Every structure is written in C-alpha cells, then in structure tokens.
Amino acid sequence: MLPLLILFILTSAYAENCSYKYEGIKLSKRSILTIKGLPTNLVINPNNRDLFFTLIDIDTLQDDDVQTEMDQYVLRDGEPIKIDNINGQAAAVDVIKNKVYIASDDGLTVLNKSDKANFVAFKDEDITQLFKPVNSDKLYAVLFPESMVYEIDVKENEKTKIENVPCAFMLAVDAEENIFFECDSKYVKVLLKDFQEPIEFVGIPKNSARAITIDDKNRVILAANDGVYWLKSDSLIPKKLMNLDFIPSGIAFYGENLYLSTSGVIYEFSFTVCE
C-alpha cells in the first residue's frame, strides 16, 4: 500500500507542478530566489546566465512621503549579489560585447569584473529604465522625472530624445526599431519606426501592464496582471500565451526558460520537466 501512496503523492505533485501552460504547452514552476522586497526589471546575460534585477523596498514604495528605496542585484549560481557602490535602478545587456549597463540615479554605468559599477556618462541624470536591443548598437533609456525616452549613442556618450513617445515606465524595442511602451500606468502602445503617432493595443486592461521584454525568438512579450502576452507590430490585438495566478513584477527569457518575479520571489518556468 505504501508504494501506491508514494506514487499518488508524486503524481499529484507533478501534475500541480505542470499546471501552467505557455502557448498550450505544459511547464513547471520553481522558485530560484526568495528575497524580501519586490524584484523587478529582470534581465539575463545569456553569455553567463547572470540574472540582474532591481529590488524595491515595499514599505517605501507604499509610503508617498519618502523616496522609494531600490538596490541593484545580480543572481549568480543561486546567490544574490548586491551591486553596492551605486543606487541601481535597471540593467541592460550588450550581448555581443558581453557588457552590462547599469542605470542609476546619478548617470549611466558599466559593470566591471568585480561586480562594481564604473561611471560612463550623464552625470546627475536619474535613469530609471534601460533597454538594449540584441541586433543594434543603440541603447534606450528613460529619464526621471518626465520619464522621457532617449536613444543613447554609447560611443559618443550623447543622447537624443524620442519625440513621439510621450513617456514610458517600461519599454522594449524590437529588431525593426519599433518601440513598445507603457505610459502613465495606463495602456500599452507601440510607436512604429518612421511613424509619428503611437498605436494602442486592445484587450489589455488599463493599469495591468507590469513588465516587457524580448524573448529568444525576437518577440515582444508583456507580463500583465492576468497573464503573458505576445505583442505584434502588425496587429492591435495581442496574443495571450499564458494565464497567471499571481501579479508579476518582472519577466525575462533564457532559451526556452521563462523567468517571472513577484513580491518576494523569482520563479523559473521550464518545459523540460513536463515533457
């Protein structure tokens, strides 16, 4: 009787573990980090699998009378390492040059081999978001307090304002240089290259967008309160890829593995366990 009981327990646990579906395919979920705070702005360096994230202090986030406290971390071999010489707010990876940019409240920096941030440019600028397309030398940044989007020439250390994006609290740029963004905690839009007016996606509830990234298939992927969506530049209707039963705060991909964060935890979703 005992072997049957053990088999039942293992089967039940496996079924529960594979209860999530991504594009109709079952995947498993496991916690790769438990930490106090809200991990967000997930970015993975595919060259070494380092996972960068910004940790927000939830108490200060909920207090309008104090400045929100944020720290930049890298998760390496299961251990969170704090980048403690700056007030980091986001990261972006130049995959080809194997270079990691860190946005801070005092300019743009680059991570060195000792996990310290070396200043690069834009002293006194408060950079809240970064995005580095894989197939482009361009770097995109969001500057506080207006939350305007700028294209950065990292060779000349010059920035150019993207005129037709009113503001952005999250952004991603695809291989065709279409800019996907969310502004004023409202709706998700895309500014198509060489166009003047952003287009709004339909079907995504207001105030529900939480994080945006590009997957390994060069697709723009949005994490929202109710699930994960594929945003296409040639369609106003996003394709829903996955339902969620928690509110995400960050999203990233490494190969076929999907990473989602929420309050106090970062999850890894994998197809291999459920095959």
Q: Mean pLDDT throughout 193-207?
A: 94
Q: What does the pLDDT look like over 41-99, one tens digit per residue?
A: 999 999 999 999 999 988 777 766 667 788 999 999 999 999 999 888 999 999 999 99
Q: What is the pLDDT of residue 149?
A: 97
Is residue 45 one of the residues assigned to a domain? yes
CATH of the domain at 165: 2.120.10.30
Is residue 7 one of the residues assigned to a domain? no
Q: What is the pLDDT of residue 26?
A: 94
Q: How far apart are CA 187 and CA 224, in angstroms?
A: 11
Is residue 16 one of the residues assigned to a domain? no
Q: Which domain holds residue 112?
A: 31-266
Is residue 257 one of the residues assigned to a domain? yes
Domain count, the chain: 1
Is residue 260 one of the residues assigned to a domain? yes
Q: How far apart are CA 60 and CA 137, in angstroms?
A: 36
Q: What does the pLDDT look like over 129-178, one tens digit per residue?
A: 999 999 888 999 999 999 999 999 988 889 999 999 999 999 999 999 99
Question: pTM to 2 decimals?
Answer: 0.91
Q: How far apart are CA 62 and CA 88, in angstroms?
A: 19
Is residue 211 one of the residues assigned to a domain? yes
Q: What is the pLDDT of residue 154?
A: 86
